Every structure is written in structure tokens, then in C-alpha cells.
Amino acid sequence: MQCTIKEPMPLLEALQLLCPDSSKNSLRQFLSSGRVLVNDNVVMNHGFTVHPGNILKLSEHKAKYIRDLKIVYEDGQVIVIDKPSGLLSVETNFEKEKTAHAILKRHYAPHKIYVVHRLDFETSGLMVFAKTLDSYNNLKRQLSHRQVTRKYLAIAEGHLEGKGTWSCYLHEDAAYYVHASDNPQEGELAITHFESLGIRQQFSLVGFTLETGKKNQIRVQAAKAGYPLAGDTKYGAKTNKIHRIALHAATLSFCHPTSGKTLSFSSPTPVAFQLLYPN
């Protein structure tokens, strides 16, 4: 099912014209499951705008699950998952089985699955894995050249206003605690862009965009600035009402390793966030 866009409009509105018998909830599910394509690029962003000449398609593809791990997109080169909070991204010295990577490896055996990047144990949201070595190398180059867009949604303690950039140097000690410093000799450069999206009671809703991708980067820089993420008691949070860190990898965009087309995905805000920041 497809149509050619005649005038600028929100993507949801265009979908309603394409699927007049579908409810708005169904349209949002089409987006969340990776079934909506604009000019053959997957779009999962509810706020996306289409323009004249764009080709809007609704594919038959639906998200599948592998042992409760949501697969939002898959082809012969890449797999994009929506990782739940409370699941490790990759194996550690202490856990070899209950990880996103291990689940994928078992399912796709004997084929290899390559880890492109990671999310912390309590962080939920979008991750991409590679299915071939060439695709892995391509995606790692995109990361190193800062061509992969990763945006996060978080709830921070305190009233963070405006927008800006945090830049400092991070290093990890023997106890796996990441420290922030302004001294270039004391770690690797970490750059995070932030934007306050609202303030409610003692919390701020914040959007983050990573320019670099260091371990615990957003968590440590937010704490250094005086706005630890809710639930992140390791780095100074005083609240933990939802029994997890309030950090979610909400959007992910990269160029497909072989076709060169831009793939863009978004993940719904975790329901638990409503307990800290209603509506």
C-alpha cells in the first residue's frame, strides 16, 4: 500500500489518508513496528513531516519478538532491537546468557552477530547489531565519524533549563565507576548535547543527543552538571521511584551499510516514566 504526497503534512495525517479505516492508535503501532517507509526509508518518528513528491508506503512487515526481545527491523545486514531495561546488552565476566547479544546469537546460530554499540543494563531503547563483518565495519566507521544519530529521553532530578552542550573527559576506575574531569590528561573526550523539554515538580524532562559514545556518558555528565538522572543512585540520584534509571534510547538513525539509504527508528517512551513525569 502506497501513495505519493501532494502537500506538506505531518506523517500521522498522511498515514490517516493512506489508511482511512485505521484508528490513530493503529497508525502509531504501524510506526512503532517499523512498517512505515518514506522514499523506502523506515521512519518511526511520530513528529516526522512528509513533503510533496515523497512516496509513503505501509509494508507488511511487523515487529517480531525473540524471547521477549523486540526486533523492530531486520534485513540481511542489520538487526535493530528495542532493548528493555534490566537486560544487559552484551556478555560480561559475570553473565553470559541473559544478554541481548546472547539471545540473538542463539537464535541466529551458526551465523555470527556483531555488537556495534551498547546500552547500560537499566537503559532501555534502540540498538543496532550487524549480521556481517562488512556491515559491522561500516557501522563502526559511521560511529567513529559521528554519522550515527542517537537521541535519548531522560528524566533528571532538579530544574534543568534551556539547551547546551556538556564536554569533559571520562575515565573508569577499577571499581567500574566512571569519573568526569575537565583535564584532557584524565580520560577520553565525551560530548553530549542536551535540551530541556519541560519541568514538573522536582524533575526535568530532557532530550540528549550523543556526539561521542562513552560508557555511562549521559549519566556521568548529567550528575557532574548537578542534575543526576532519576533512579541513578550510583551517580548521586536521591530518587528511585520506578526502580530503574530514567534513560531511554528513543531514536536511532544511520546509513544502511550496503544500500546507503538512511534508516530512522523511534521507540515509544517507557510507561514507567509516567510515574515521574505524567503526560
What positions carry a catalytic annotation? 120
Q: What is the DSSP string of 202-231?
A: TEEEEEEEESS--TTHHHHHHHHTT-PBTT
Asked if 38 contacts 24 with a C-beta cutoff of 8 angstroms, the reply is no
* CB atoms inside a 10 Å sphere around CB 107: 14
Shortest CA distance to 200 belongs to which of 153, 152, 160, 244? Answer: 160
Q: Quickly list H helices, the chain.
A: 11-18, 24-32, 100-108, 133-144, 217-224
Q: Which residues pair with 189 in a beta bridge?
A: 169
Residue 28 CA to its chain's centroid (Å): 18
Q: Which residues pair with 168 in a beta bridge?
A: 190
Asked if 72 contacts 84 with a C-beta cutoff of 8 angstroms, the reply is no
Residue 254 three-state SS: strand
Q: What is the DSSP string of 128-167?
A: EEESSHHHHHHHHHHHHTT-SEEEEEEEEES---SEEEEE
Residue type, 273: F
Shortest CA distance to 257 belongs to which of 139, 154, 152, 169? Answer: 139
